[in-house]
Every structure is written in structure tokens, then in C-alpha cells.
């Protein structure tokens, strides 16, 4: 019998699905599976946490795969799979739409359950997969066979990582997927043993349950997929999310608290509070907003990340020191938020030229700038240098300029900016849609530090 802390038992009482929930969700699953069977076109299979009994109460995400014959051409899989998924969804509800991962699938809301109907190939070995989703049924079979006795530990870990803001392998979170949580519990034999091991993790930690790794990986955390030796299940985990998990594990082991299982509260900032905050900090805040490109998060978010870095570098090259920057994708609009230490600069700047003994280039430089009304060219440490007018004295003018389209933006972000972008400054950066994002921008701290602040347990 696993020994648990009283607080963990209390948490589990809220995490375990009730029998009524199980009957409701599993009953719906059986009805959908029967419709797939009756079609005669594919076999149906429930995958994901519901199939593996590792779902948390209140999570109503039902993943049902429709397994087609592997001889079916890829185009036919998409066409027939989508047609079957749409037919089945429409027989239950009008509330469904097409989504796209590696290939299209149907997402529907049926009896308050979020249902994904995903076509894939019914391959007999994970080594013969023809698309990434073909691997998922093997994950389900693997976990289902081995997870008995450890389900509660998985539930604790899922809530622990959700409460820490590090659950989810999506591009915004870069954290721990449900499957990764299950494998970690399996490998270490429980929630507490995992935390004890994670407290000592360092980058490039490698976990290989089946001892069958078939290639090298360079991600911070490596969990070799037990059904595919060439895949890292933890590939999405960034070094920051890994470090935050290590910190959380150490903190919980040192001082267990229910705070580690409480989900983060949404705390939006008001426009007036933002004004007061900016005035107190003495910095300059800019928000760049533009229509969200018509692509899924997995495509847009990496481009937002790249574009934010490019804009920061563009600002720095022009003399504006960036203190902090981040980005957010919402359904209709994206925002890049930038805090500058200085937003207005002098009219002149120094311009470094070549060494004097680089004769050809030195003479070109001297000839180009000798008639300027500004000081220079002069020699400093053996090189020519001169003063030149600054092209952009104000950061706002730089961010609004067409030169923004000449930097290394993400492809789809650039396409969106071509149609125009808005630049907001100071309190005008506030938006009801982005108010929680803006609050988080200024309240950033590690998950464990947040727990310490909330509990008042500050270490001297």
C-alpha cells in the first residue's frame, strides 16, 4: 500500500472522477465506437487519458481514433477519414468543426464532452507508422497494461504540473504532456519517488524505460518513447520548464503544502493599475498588435517567438535597450509586449569605422563623412569613428516604420503585418483580451517562488 500524506489524499478525493462521470463519458464513448463499427469503414479505439483511466475529474476530453486499413492511400485516409468523422459527429450534434494536426480531424462537443474524432492507420507495429498519430494507439496499449496501482500518482503529478503552470506540450507552455507524466510515474514507481529523483535532475537527463534508445537527442530532458526508440517524449519541455519542475520538486519535498496543487488564479490587470505600475517602474511599455494568422497554434507561436526576438534585436541595434519582451496569441489578435528602459534617445550617435591601416576602407570612410557638420571622422584606438544623425530618436517611430518588415520575422507573422499593425504605448497597451497576459508580464516569478509568496513562507 502506497503511503501518502493526508493532504495528498485530500487532493486525490477531488481529482478522481466520480462513478457518474465515468458512466457518462464512457457511455458516450461506447455509443461513438458503435457508430464507427456500424460504418464498416474503420475500427474505433478510445485513446488518451480516458482510455488509460488517468483523467482528472472535470476533464471531458474524449479522444477516439478511427483506424483505417494501412493500404489506403494517404489522400484517401484524409478524405474518407474526415467524411466518416463528420458523419459520426453530425449524428450526435451540430456543434462540430474541422481542426488540423498532421492531417485533418473533427472536434465536436457532445453532451458537454469535448470529442476528437481522428483518422489514422491500423498498423500492427509502431515501427510501421505512416503518420505521427498512428503511434498513439500504441501509447494507450502500453500505459494501460502497466499503469495499474499508479493511477493516483499520475493524477497527483498532472495536478502538480498544472498548478505549477508547466503542464502541456503546446508551443506556449513548452511543458509536460499527459503521456510524459504517465511515463515518469511508471519509471520512478510513484509521485514521491519521481520528485526525489527530479530534485537532482540536470540538463540532458536521459530516461529510457525499455533501454532501447536508437539515436542521440540534445533536448534538456529526454524520455525515450517505449514504443519508438527514435522519439523523445519530452522534446517539447524547455530548459526553463524543466528547471521549474526541479524547483517545485525540491520545494514540495522540503515543505509539502496544498498550494502545490492549487491551480493558478486568473488575475487580470486594470488599465489604471497598469498606468500606476508603469509610472512606478519608470520604464516605457509598447504593445504591437495585429490579426492572428489563420493557422494553428503549433505554427503561429514559434513564429511569434522568432518575431519577438527579431524586433528586440532591431530595437537594440538602434540603441533602445529592451528590459523584457513576450508574446501572446489569441483567437482574433496577437500581441507582442515590450518594456524598454529608455524610449527616446539623443539626436546623434557614434559610428565606428575601419582601422586607419586598412587603407582602402579607411579612405572611403574618411571621404564619406568628412563634410559632415558633426564631429569626425576622428581616430580612437587606431580606428576611424564619427558622429552621425540618429535615424530614429523615438522607439515608437522605429516600431511603426516600414523597416519592421525587413527584419527576420516569422513567415505568417510577416504576412499579417503586411496588412498593417497597431503600436500602443503606456496605458494604451491595456486591452481586455490581453489583461491577464499583461498582468503576468509584470508578475513573473518561478512557480515555487509564487507558492512561497502566497504562503508567506519567505526564507531569509
One domain for residues 251 and 283: no
One domain for residues 99 and 169: no
Query: Quick one: pLDDT band at residue 459, thresholds 50, 70, 90?
Result: very low
One domain for residues 169 and 64: no
d(CA 321, CA 88): 55
Sheet holding 383-389, edge to edge: 348-355, 383-389, 378-380
Q: 2 pLDDT exceeds 80?
A: no
One domain for residues 128 and 247: no
Q: 457 pLDDT exceeds 70?
A: no
Reference 318, options 240, 233, 404; nearest CA is: 404
The pLDDT of residue 460: 37
Tell whether 140 is covered by a domain: no
Cβ within 8 Å of residue 429, ≥6 positions away: 274, 285, 286, 287, 337, 438
Tell whether 255 is covered by a domain: yes
The DSSP code for 233 is T
Query: Quick one: pLDDT band at residue 107, thresholds 50, 70, 90?
Result: very high
Query: Of the candidates 89, 104, 132, which is a domain's last residue?
Result: 132
391-424 core/surface letters (b: 16 or more CB in 10 A; e: else): ebbebbebbbeeebeeeebbebbbebbeeebebb
The pLDDT of residue 1: 53
Share of the chain above pLDDT 70, in %: 98
In total, how many domains does the chain have? 4
Tell whether 35 is covered by a domain: yes
One domain for residues 90 and 109: yes
Q: 312 pLDDT exceeds 70?
A: yes
Q: 258 pLDDT exceeds 60?
A: yes
Tell whether 65 is covered by a domain: yes
Tell whether 11 is covered by a domain: no
The pLDDT of residue 161: 98
One domain for residues 374 and 302: no
Q: pLDDT tens across 375-395, in order?
A: 999 999 999 999 999 999 999
Q: 187 pLDDT exceeds 80?
A: yes
Phi, psi (deg, nearest 5) at residue 317:
-60, -30
Specify the CATH number for the domain of residue 117.
Answer: 3.30.460.10
One domain for residues 165 and 209: yes
Tell whether 418 is covered by a domain: yes
Q: Residue 127 sits in which domain range?
A: 19-132
- Half-sphere exposure in the Cβ direction for 74 (13 Å, CA): 9
Mean pLDDT, residues 316-330: 96
Cell digits of residue 327 = 508574446
Reference 192, options 183, 184, 203, 180; nearest CA is: 184
Tell whether 120 is covered by a domain: yes
Asked which of 98-107, 194-203, 286-295, 351-360 is least confident by mean pLDDT, the reply is: 98-107
Mean pLDDT, residues 100-125: 91
d(CA 105, CA 111): 19
Tell whether 137 is covered by a domain: no
Q: 333 pLDDT exceeds 60?
A: yes
The pLDDT of residue 3: 79
416 φψ region: left (φ > 0), alpha (ψ -120 to 50), beta (else): alpha
Mean pLDDT, residues 276-294: 96
One domain for residues 298 and 414: yes
- Higher pLDDT, residue 457 or 51: 51
The DSSP code for 446 is -
DSSP string computed for 21-62: HHHHHHHHHHHHHHHHHHHTS-EEEEEHHHHHT-PPTT--EE
Asked which of 36-50, 96-110, 210-224, 249-263 is least confident by mean pLDDT, the reply is: 96-110
One domain for residues 114 and 176: no
d(CA 385, CA 163): 55
One domain for residues 158 and 224: yes
Q: 407 pLDDT exceeds 60?
A: yes
Q: 374 pLDDT exceeds 70?
A: yes
One domain for residues 299 and 155: no
- Higher pLDDT, residue 127 or 334: 334
Q: pLDDT tens across 8-24, in order?
A: 999 999 999 999 999 99
Asked which of 132-136, 176-180, 238-242, 258-262 is least confident by mean pLDDT, the reply is: 132-136
Query: Of the candidates 235, 261, 287, which is a domain's last residue?
Result: 261
Query: Of the candidates 97, 132, 167, which is a domain's last residue?
Result: 132
One domain for residues 161 and 237: yes
Specify the CATH number for the domain of residue 246.
Answer: 1.10.1410.30
Amino acid at each position: 500500500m502506497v503511503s501518502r500524506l493526508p493532504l495528498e489524499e485530500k487532493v486525490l478525493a477531488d481529482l478522481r472522477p466520480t462513478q457518474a462521470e465515468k458512466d457518462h463519458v464512457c457511455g458516450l464513448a461506447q455509443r461513438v465506437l458503435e457508430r464507427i463499427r456500424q460504418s464498416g469503414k474503420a475500427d474505433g479505439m478510445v485513446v488518451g487519458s480516458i482510455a488509460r483511466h488517468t483523467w482528472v475529474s472535470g476533464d471531458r476530453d474524449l479522444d477516439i481514433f478511427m483506424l483505417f486499413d494501412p493500404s489506403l492511400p494517404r489522400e484517401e485516409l484524409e478524405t474518407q477519414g474526415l467524411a466518416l468523422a463528420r458523419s459520426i459527429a453530425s449524428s450526435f450534434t451540430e456543434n462540430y468543426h474541422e481542426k488540423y494536426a498532421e492531417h485533418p480531424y473533427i472536434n465536436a462537443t457532445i453532451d458537454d464532452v469535448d470529442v476528437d474524432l481522428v483518422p489514422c492507420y491500423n498498423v500492427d507495429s509502431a515501427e510501421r507508422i505512416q503518420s505521427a498519430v498512428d503511434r498513439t494507439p500504441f501509447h494507450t496499449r502500453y500505459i494501460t497494461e502497466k499503469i495499474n496501482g499508479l493511477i493516483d500518482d499520475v493524477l497527483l503529478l498532472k495536478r502538480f504540473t498544472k498548478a505549477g503552470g508547466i503542464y502541456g506540450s503546446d508551443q506556449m507552455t513548452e511543458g509536460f504532456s499527459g503521456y510524459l507524466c504517465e511515463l515518469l510515474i511508471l519509471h520512478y514507481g510513484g509521485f514521491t519517488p519521481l520528485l526525489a529523483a527530479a530534485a537532482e535532475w540536470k540538463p540532458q537527463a536521459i530516461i529510457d524505460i525499455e533501454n532501447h534508445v536508437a539515436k542521440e537527442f540534445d533536448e534538456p530532458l529526454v524520455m525515450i518513447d517505449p514504443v519508438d526508440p527514435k522519439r523523445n517524449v519530452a522534446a517539447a519541455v524547455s530548459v526553463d520548464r524543466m528547471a521549474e519542475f526541479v524547483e517545485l520538486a525540491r520545494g514540495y519535498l522540503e515543505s509539502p503544502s496544498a498550494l502545490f496543487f492549487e491551480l493558478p488564479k486568473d488575475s487580470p490587470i486594470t488599465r489604471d493599475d497598469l498606468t500606476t505600475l508603469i509610472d512606478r517602474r519608470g520604464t516605457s511599455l509598447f504593445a504591437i498588435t495585429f490579426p492572428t494568422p489563420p493557422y494553428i497554434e503549433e505554427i503561429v507561436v514559434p513564429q511569434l517567438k522568432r518575431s519577438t526576438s527579431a524586433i528586440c534585436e532591431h530595437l537594440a541595434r538602434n540603441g533602445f535597450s529592451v528590459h523584457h519582451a513576450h508574446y501572446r496569441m489569441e483567437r482574433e489578435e496577437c500581441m507582442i509586449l515590450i518594456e524598454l528602459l529608455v524610449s527616446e534617445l539623443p539626436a546623434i550617435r557614434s559610428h565606428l569605422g575601419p582601422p586607419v591601416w586598412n587603407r582602402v576602407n579607411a579612405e572611403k570612410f574618411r571621404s564619406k563623412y568628412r563634410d559632415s557638420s558633426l564631429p569626425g571622422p576622428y581616430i580612437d584606438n587606431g580606428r576611424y569613428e564619427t558622429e552621425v544623425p540618429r535615424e530614429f530618436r523615438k522607439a515608437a517611430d522605429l516600431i511603426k516604420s516600414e523597416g519592421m518588415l525587413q527584419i527576420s520575422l516569422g513567415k505568417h507573422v510577416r504576412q499579417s503585418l503586411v496588412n498593417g499593425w497597431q503600436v500602443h504605448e503606456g496605458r494604451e497597451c491595456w486591452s481586455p483580451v490581453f489583461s491577464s497576459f499583461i498582468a503576468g508580464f509584470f508578475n513573473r516569478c518561478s512557480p515555487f517562488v509564487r507558492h512561497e509568496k502566497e504562503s508567506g513562507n519567505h526564507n531569509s
